[in-house]
Amino acid sequence: MDSSTEYMKDIETCIANFYKKDDEVYLNVAALAQIGGPEVIERLLTLLYEEDLDIQYLAVNTLAQIEDNQSALSGLFAAIHDPKLKARNGSLVEALEGFDVSDHFVDILKLYLNGGLKAAAMAKLLLDYTEFNISSRTLKKAKKHVHHFVHNSLKDDRYETKMIEVKAIIKDLEILIDAEK
């Protein structure tokens, strides 16, 4: 057996061990995170669509721990925005903490505005504690999404809270952009 076949076998063995759900499952998470690479990332991205929330959580947790994981970010955002996963994407949004999302302010803002309870809470934490790369174009896109939210959302208690938070964020960004001019 050549080394690439053995390498793929090791990856599949670790993933198969996710389904055992025993006390050693996190050893497999650590092993896969250490192996890393495009093969592991590609395989883990497919597990984000698993019906079993434990498997989904293990996969996204592993992705977040891989040192060079930025190539997984587009696949993770695709899973987050997939309508089939919307009701259970909170742990996916939570895992964004393990990625460099500094160029994804608008994506995170949209998750805060339109996400479920956990997804919105996790997105709010990212908005509060991530240093984003902001331009006037980013600000314009953010305002567009806030406008859409204002005109297309239920006007409940969560709406009011989000509007207070978002207005403060937009105001801070406007001050930042004006100071750079």
Interval 144-164: pLDDT, tens? 999 999 999 888 888 999 999
Q: How confident is the model at residue 82 (pLDDT cuts 50, 70, 90)?
A: very high
Task: Give pTM, 2 decimals.
Answer: 0.89
Domain carrying residue 54: 1-99
Task: Clarify whether residues 31 and 90 are in a common domain.
Answer: yes
Q: What integer is the mean pLDDT of 131-142?
A: 95
Q: Is residue 155 within a helix (H) or strand (E), and if so which, with residue range?
A: none
- Of 66, 99, 132, which marks where a domain is finished? 99
Number of residues that this document lists for the chain: 181
- Radius of gyration, CA atoms only, the chain: 19
Task: Clarify whether residues 10 and 95 are in a common domain.
Answer: yes
pLDDT at 111 over 90: yes
Task: Clarify whether residues 177 and 136 are in a common domain.
Answer: yes
- Of 99, 133, 157, which marks where a domain is finished? 99
Task: Clarify whether residues 95 and 8 are in a common domain.
Answer: yes
Task: Clarify whether residues 172 and 88 are in a common domain.
Answer: no
Q: Is the dihedral of CA 154, 84, 71, 69 positive or negative?
A: positive
Task: Clarify whether residues 94 and 51 are in a common domain.
Answer: yes
Task: Clarify whether residues 120 and 46 are in a common domain.
Answer: no
Q: How confident is the model at residue 2 (pLDDT cuts 50, 70, 90)?
A: low
- The total number of structural domains in the chain stands at 2
Task: Clarify whether residues 105 and 95 are in a common domain.
Answer: no
- Of 42, 70, 99, which marks where a domain is finished? 99
Task: Clarify whether residues 57 and 78 are in a common domain.
Answer: yes
Buried b or exposed e, range 90-122, using 16+ CB within 10 angstroms: bbbbbbbebbebeebbbbbbbbbbbbeeebbeb
Task: Clarify whether residues 11 and 91 are in a common domain.
Answer: yes
Task: Clarify whether residues 91 and 2 are in a common domain.
Answer: yes
Model pLDDT, residue 24:
87
Task: Clarify whether residues 92 and 112 are in a common domain.
Answer: no
- Give residue-wise pLDDT tens across range 52-64: 999 999 999 999 9
